[in-house]
Amino acid sequence: MNKMLDGLEEELLSGRKNPDHEKFYTKYFEVKETPKRGVSLTPKQEAIEDAEKNSGYFALISNGVKDPLEALKIYRSKDMIEKAFGNLKERLNMRRTSVSSEENLEGKLFVQFIALIYLSYIKKAMSDKDLFKNYTMQELLDELDIIECYEQPGSKRRISEMTKKQMDLYGI
């Protein structure tokens, strides 16, 4: 923890801020800039103590990632992967494979993999549009799940009526 704080402090004082560390700067330091005195830092002792009491020791070894904060961020993103497998099991009905042949299993896995890609896209779109403050992913999917599309040969495609909330979500 001290090494990380020292690195953040050095970045702030030298003026070589890393945009990826911006939330750490505001979390652990009170930064004041004046034209005459330059940058002055006041550590936020309560935030630092809170982080230290919950921190432990572990080693991350990587051949590709050199920045320790980036490596930690990637390591912690494993939660997203675990949630994706949770989606496979629950929302995409992957708990039991229930297939009669290897070919059917491969087809089912392929379709569910594509569905998982869509779920990841929806999660990113929700994050970009700041929808997580109003919806969970499950609530959003349930809201949009009731929209139906009708198509008959020789006639135009029709979409069922949509509520105002659904139109707002689609940006219509």
Residue range 42-63: mean pLDDT, rounded = 81
Give bridge partners of residue 39 from the DSSP assignment.
Answer: 33
Residues 123 and 141 in one domain: no
Q: Tell me the per-residue pLDDT of 78-89, one tens digit each, with 9 for 90 and over.
A: 776 677 777 666
pLDDT at 97: 66
pLDDT interval class at 96 (50, 70, 90):
low
Residues 43 and 91 in one domain: no
Residues 64 and 86 in one domain: no
Query: What value does the mean pLDDT of the chain take?
Result: 82
Residues 118 and 83 in one domain: yes
Instruction: Give the total number of structural domains in the chain.
Output: 3
Residue range 118-135: mean pLDDT, rounded = 86
Could you count the other beta carbons within 10 Å of the beta carbon of residue 37? 8
Nearest to 159 by CA among 118, 125, 167: 167
For residues 92 and 8, which has the higher predicted lDDT (pLDDT)?
8
Residues 7 and 60 in one domain: yes
Residues 26 and 40 in one domain: yes
Residues 84 and 30 in one domain: no
Cα separation of the two ends of the chain: 48
pTM: 0.45
For residues 134 and 87, which has the higher predicted lDDT (pLDDT)?
134
Is the pLDDT assigned to residue 94 strictly greater than 70? no
Q: What is the DSSP string of the chain?
A: -HHHHHHHHHHHHHT---GGGHHHHHHHEEEEEETTTEEEEEE-HHHHHHHHHT--------SS---HHHHHHHHHTHHHHHHHHHHHHTTT--S----SSHHHHHHHHHHHHHHHHHHHHHHHHHHHTTGGGT--HHHHHHHHHT--EE--TTS--EE----HHHHHHHT-
Residues 71 and 82 in one domain: no
pLDDT at 93: 64
Q: Write down which residue in 58, 76, 94 finishes a domain.
A: 76
Residues 57 and 11 in one domain: yes
Give the domain range for residue 172.
135-172
Residues 6 and 69 in one domain: yes
Residues 104 and 67 in one domain: no
Residues 92 and 51 in one domain: no
Q: Residue 35 carries which side chain, given as an amino acid letter?
A: P
